[in-house]
């Protein structure tokens, strides 16, 4: 115990001093340029106490003092895991779906709002996963397709009064066209270059939205977008179908859920298809893939297009839900956010990405009081995650396990 | 020897930007042969194979396959035509399983039963791959990866198999095994093989004919047996 502590203690002390040096300017510098120490020190001391407690627990556990408590608990956990494994995956899926379906009945408006956001990001995350996780093309401008989808519906709704349901496929198609347009010139690039160029394209799309006043109304955005509507049969004054708008939040929740479910099913199917495997081969070794007869050019383009489709769907829904769009919603930070969700959750793992989206949306909501330090905590959490679980919260079993599954 | 070469390079030039890698390579491969290309590091051996496979563009000259020019044919169409390569350094797909690597070899094919049969055949040739079929390719040893790379290429049912330094970095015992397989594939299935090797001794023993490549040019061509006993070759490539 003592020896272990000596080993870790030094690193710990240095780490904490370094953290103090980091927090102090971040918290201690005031707008008027003056410096103070007290506040930074208070926060720091909380962190020290907290982490020291964790460290002590860790050391106690490691040297076996806690075995009496952990052993039976570990057994219980293993038991639970084994039991959970015994239940087929489709039952879990059904349970999750049922929970999602009855969720609005037991929750309040605010919770609906958060859930809708999570569902939107699930579509985005899974779409981006096709490009980044499967085809291995780092895309830092992904949010541009979300923007294309959103503006497609916004403009069609405001100018032509087109229905949401009609615009949904239109938004998907236009987003995928944008995907091809942006994807095409970048196809010959690899790695870092690709990342930079996609970043640039993402910004270009945002700047166009921002500056094309006559079409997009620039930074002021577009107001008065209609929510999705449905026709319901009505018998008043003769039988006819009445058109009503779904303004209630829980209606929107179900639409978001439907879009997310469609995305999950589609991405899963793609994942386990011939095309999915070809994408993976491109990710692993593009030249070798080409030598094996994979049309890398078309498949990379297809990856961009398919990824953009889901962003387009999510975007159209976003516009219908907010009833307002402006370029501000489509900044690089959003792209980075979606990418973080994918990486945090586990690249290539559908349940992982769902969890990643939920975590990165819900946790900041829960810790709203710490609004100011959100990004700081966010960064710290990501760093810790990448150290301890580099493959994500729920790592992909193997990015594709198709052949084995078929046999098993 | 059959009259028509199955693969022929006519005065092929190729380059990487400003660097001229091939400066007029001409060679012929006849059906059923094993032909060796030997040469020092950087002579242009790999580039020759990559040019045949359409990965590196031809600047000048022509490549004929079964009498047709394939100079302008896209790389991904060549496996369909029966031309497949085992690239230098194996280049398997490291995070895909052994089984999936093999399936990708048969990517263009749609005949499920045929694929299944060929899969069994590859597993017979390389029993160690069958044992490891659910393992990720990247976790295999060097020799196993080479076997996987060969198996993957065989899954495309090649008529002409191009092999780039299959002995690279492998223990002598494994090298022997790999060359036995090369022989078997050539003998049993009549697959034509174009073999690139730095290890001239091995390559010339396995091949019927050989070409010597130096700085992008063919400087010598002859029967493998004769090259093996050529004093110059022995001095330059066999370390005598
Ligand atoms: N990707 C590349 N970019 C630039 N030059 C290359 C590239 N690959 C090979 N070369 C050059 O082309 C020449 C031939 O290389 P290569 O065909 O790999 O030789 P070998 O396989 O006989 O060792 C060398 O001079 C090498 O430096
Ligand atoms: Mg080489």
Task: Looking at the structure, tell me whether residues A66 and A105 fall in a common domain.
Answer: no
B134/A293 Cβ within 8 A: no
**pLDDT tens digits, one per residue of A348-370:** 889 999 999 998 888 878 777 76
Q: Are residues A130 and A101 in the same domain?
A: yes
Confidence band, pLDDT 50/70/90 cuts, at residue A15? confident
Nearest of B56, B62, B58 to residue B88 by alpha carbon? B56
Same-domain status, A239 and A315: yes
Residue B142: count other Cβ atoms within 10 Å of its Cβ: 14
Number of folded domains that form chain A: 2
Per-residue pLDDT tens digits for B140-187 = 999 999 999 999 999 999 999 999 999 998 999 999 999 999 999 999
Contact predicate B204/B210, CB 8 Å:
yes
**Atom 4 in ligand 1: residue holding the nearest Cα:** B16
Mean pLDDT, chain B, as a whole number? Answer: 93
How close does chain B come to A283, measured CA to CA in Å? 9
**Cβ-defined contact of B100 to A402 (cutoff 8 Å):** yes
Please state, in angstroms and rounded to a whole number, the distance separating the CA atoms of residues A355 and A345: 6
| Ligand 1 interacting residues, C-beta cut-off 6 A | B 16, 19, 21, 39, 41-47
Confidence class for position A43, pLDDT limits 50, 70, 90? confident
* Domain boundary, last residue among A84, A99, A122: A84
**A79 and A97 together in one domain:** no
Residue A119 pLDDT more than 50? yes
Q: Do B156 and A292 touch (CB under 8 A)?
A: yes
Give the Å distance between the CA of A96 and the centre of ligand 2.
Answer: 53
Average pLDDT, chain A: 86
The predicted model gives B7-29 an average pLDDT of 96
Confidence of residue B1 (pLDDT cuts 50, 70, 90): low
Res A402: pLDDT? 43
Mutate to test the pocket of ligand 1, among B41, B46, B219 (most ligand atoms within 8 A of CB): B46
List Cα–Cα distances, B28 to A9, A103, B224, in angstroms.
70, 71, 14
Q: What is the pLDDT of residue A39?
A: 79
What spacing in Å lies between the alpha carbon of A194 and ligand 2's midpoint? 28
Quickly count: other Cβ atoms within 10 Å of residue A285's Cβ.
20
- For chain A, what percent of residues have pLDDT higher than 70? 96
CA–centroid distance, residue B214 to ligand 1 (Å) = 12
Quote the distance between the C-alpha of residue B66 and its chain's center: 17
Mean pLDDT value across residues A364-377: 73
Q: Which residues of A touch B99 (CB under 8 A)?
A: 403-404
Lowest pLDDT segment from A58-72, A192-206, A293-307, A328-342: A58-72
pLDDT for residue A406 is more than 50: no
pLDDT at A405 (0 to 100): 39
Q: Do residues A341 and A392 both lie within one domain? A: yes
Same domain, A222 and A180: yes
DSSP string, B25-49: EEEEE-TT-EEEEEE-TTSSHHHHH
Q: What is the number of CB-based contacts under 8 A between chain A and chain B?
A: 82
Of B93, B105, B156, the CB nearest to A285: B93
Record: contact B104-A295, CB cut-off 8 A? no
Mutation choice for B interface testing from A135, A292, A300, A398 by most B CBs within 10 A: A292
Give the structural domain span for A370: 89-407
Q: What is the pLDDT of residue A398?
A: 56
Ligand 1 pocket: which of B9, B12, B14, B19 to mutate (most atoms within 8 A of CB): B19
Residue where the block lists tokens 């006849």: B30
Q: What is the mean pLDDT of residues B224-239?
A: 86
Do A30 and A43 reside in the same domain of the chain?
A: yes
**pLDDT band at residue B119 under the 50/70/90 scheme:** very high
Is the Cβ of A287 closer than 8 Å to some Cβ of chain B? yes
Co-location of A192 and A222 in the same domain: yes
Residue A407 in this model has a pLDDT that exceeds 70: no
| CATH code assigned at A178 | 1.10.3470
* Ligand 1 centroid from CA B47, angstroms: 6
Q: pLDDT tens for residues A123-155?
A: 999 999 999 999 999 999 999 999 999 999 999
pLDDT score of A205 more than 60: yes
Tell me how far apart the alpha carbons of residues A193 and A190 are, in angstroms, rounded to a whole number: 6
Which spans in chain B are helix H?
A: 45-52, 78-81, 98-105, 112-125, 127-131, 142-154, 172-189, 200-206, 224-229, 231-237
In 3D space, the residue among A121, A348, A355 whose CA is nearest the CA of residue A256 turns out to be A121
> Quick one: which of B26, B45, B38 has its CA closest to B209?
B38
In this structure, the strands spanning B83-86 and B160-164 are: parallel
Strand-by-strand arrangement of the B192-197 sheet: B83-86, B160-164, B192-197, B34-39, B209-214, B217-223
- Quickly state the pLDDT bin for A174 (edges 50, 70, 90): very high
**Distance from C-alpha of A85 to C-alpha of A134, rounded to nearest angstrom:** 26
Taking the Cβ of residue A82 and every Cβ of chain B, the question of whether any pair is shorter than 8 Å is answered with: no
pLDDT at A172 over 90: yes
Which of A301, A56, A320 is CA-nearest to residue A170? A320
Q: What backbone torsions phi and psi does residue A155 show, to the nearest 5 degrees?
A: -70, -45
Together in a domain, A99 and A73: no
Domain boundary among A50, A84, A118: A84
Neighbours of ion ligand 2 (CB under 5 A): B 46, 88
Q: Are residues A221 and A324 in the same domain?
A: yes
A139 touches chain B (CB under 8 A): no
CB A301, CB A119: distance < 8 Å:
no
**Residue B101 — very low, low, confident or very high, per pLDDT cuts 50/70/90?**
very high
For residue B3 the two structure tokens come to 């009259």
Q: Are residues A261 and A224 in the same domain?
A: yes
- What is the structure's pLDDT at A400? 42
pLDDT, tens digit, for every residue of A217-237? 989 999 999 888 887 777 777
Cβ contact (<8 Å) for B76 and A296? Answer: yes
Looking at residues B62-69, what average pLDDT do you find?
Answer: 96
Question: What is the average per-residue pLDDT within B209-213?
Answer: 96
Higher pLDDT, A369 or A21: A21
Distance CA A108, CA A98 (A): 18
Q: Which of B9, B13, B16 to mutate to test the pocket of ligand 1 (most atoms within 8 A of CB)?
A: B16
Number of the ligand 1 atom closest to the C-alpha atom of B47: 17
Specify whether A95 is located in the same domain as A13: no
Mean pLDDT of B1-15: 88
| Domain limit, last residue, from A84, A109, A125 | A84
- On the question of pLDDT at A381 being above 80, the answer is no
Size of chain A in residues: 408
Q: Hey, is the C-beta of B1 within 8 angstroms of any chain A C-beta?
A: no
Q: Show the tokens assigned to A102.
A: 């009855």
* % of chain A beyond a pLDDT of 90: 45
Its ipTM equals 0.94
Q: Is A149 exposed, middle or buried (0-12, 13-18, 19+ CB in 10 A)?
A: buried
- Going by pLDDT thresholds of 50, 70 and 90, the confidence category of residue A403 is very low
Report the C-alpha gap between B207 and B12 in whole angstroms: 23
């Amino acid at each position: 115990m003592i020896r272990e502590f000596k080993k870790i203690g030094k690193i710990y002390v240095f780490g904490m001093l370094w953290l103090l040096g980091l927090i102090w300017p971040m918290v201690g510098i005031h707008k008027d340029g003056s410096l103070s120490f007290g506040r930074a020190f208070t926060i720091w001391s909380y962190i020290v106490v907290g982490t020291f407690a964790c460290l002590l627990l860790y050391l106690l556990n490691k040297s076996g003092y806690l075995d009496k408590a952990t052993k039976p608990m570990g057994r219980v956990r293993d038991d639970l895991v084994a039991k959970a494994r015994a239940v087929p995956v489709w039952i879990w899926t059904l349970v999750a779906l049922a929970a999602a379906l009855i969720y609005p009945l037991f929750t309040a408006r605010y919770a609906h709002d958060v859930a809708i956001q999570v569902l939107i990001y699930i579509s985005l995350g899974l779409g981006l996963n096709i490009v980044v996780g499967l085809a291995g093309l780092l895309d830092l401008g992904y949010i541009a397709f979300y923007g294309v989808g959103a503006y497609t519906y916004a403009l069609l709704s405001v100018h032509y009064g087109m229905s949401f349901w009609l615009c949904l496929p239109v938004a998907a198609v236009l987003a995928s066209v944008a995907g091809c347009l942006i994807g095409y010139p970048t196809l010959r690039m690899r790695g870092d270059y690709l990342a930079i160029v996609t970043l640039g394209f993402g910004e270009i799309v945002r700047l166009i939205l921002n500056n094309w006043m006559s079409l997009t109304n620039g930074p002021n955005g577009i107001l008065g977008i209609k929510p999705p509507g449905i026709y319901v049969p009505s018998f008043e004054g003769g039988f006819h179908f009445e058109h009503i708008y779904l303004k209630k939040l829980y209606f929107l929740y179900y639409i978001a859920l439907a879009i997310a479910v469609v995305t999950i099913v589609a991405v899963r199917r793609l994942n386990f298809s011939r095309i999915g495997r070809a994408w993976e081969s491109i990710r692993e070794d593009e030249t070798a893939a080409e030598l094996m007869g994979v049309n890398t050019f078309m498949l990379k383009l297809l990856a961009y297009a398919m990824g953009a489709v889901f962003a387009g769907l999510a975007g159209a829904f976003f516009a219908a839900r907010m009833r307002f769009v402006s370029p501000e919603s489509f900044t690089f930070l959003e792209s980075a956010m979606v990418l973080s969700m994918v990486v945090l959750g586990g690249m290539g793992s559908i349940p992982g990405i769902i969890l990643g989206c939920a975590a990165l949306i819900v946790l900041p909501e829960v810790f709203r009081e710490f609004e100011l330090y959100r990004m700081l905590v966010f960064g710290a959490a990501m760093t810790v995650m990448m150290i301890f679980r580099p493959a994500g919260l729920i790592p992909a079993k193997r990015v594709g396990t198709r052949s084995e599954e078929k046999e098993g | 020897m059959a009259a028509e070469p199955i693969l022929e390079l006519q005065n092929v030039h190729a380059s990487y930007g400003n660097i001229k890698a091939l400066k007029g390579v001409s060679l012929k491969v006849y059906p059923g042969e094993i032909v060796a290309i030997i040469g020092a590091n950087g002579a242009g051996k790999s580039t020759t194979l990559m040019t045949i496979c359409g990965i590196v563009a031809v600047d000048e000259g022509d490549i004929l396959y079964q009498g047709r020019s394939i100079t302008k044919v896209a790389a991904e169409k060549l496996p369909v035509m029966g031309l497949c390569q085992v690239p230098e350094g194996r280049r398997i797909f490291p995070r895909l399983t052994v089984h999936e690597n093999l399936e990708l070899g048969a990517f263009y094919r749609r005949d499920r039963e045929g694929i299944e049969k060929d899969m069994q055949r590859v597993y017979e040739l390389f029993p160690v791959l069958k044992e490891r079929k659910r393992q990720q390719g990247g976790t295999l040893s060097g020799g196993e990866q080479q076997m996987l790379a060969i198996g993957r290429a065989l899954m495309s049912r090649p008529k002409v198999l191009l092999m780039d330094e299959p002995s690279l970095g492998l223990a002598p015992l494994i090298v022997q095994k790999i060359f036995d397989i090369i022989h078997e594939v050539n003998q049993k299935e009549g697959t034509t093989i174009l073999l690139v090797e730095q290890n001239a001794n091995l390559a010339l023993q396995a091949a019927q004919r050989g070409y010597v490549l130096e700085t992008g040019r063919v400087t010598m061509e002859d029967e493998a047996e004769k090259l093996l006993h050529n004093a110059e070759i022995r001095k330059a490539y066999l370390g005598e």
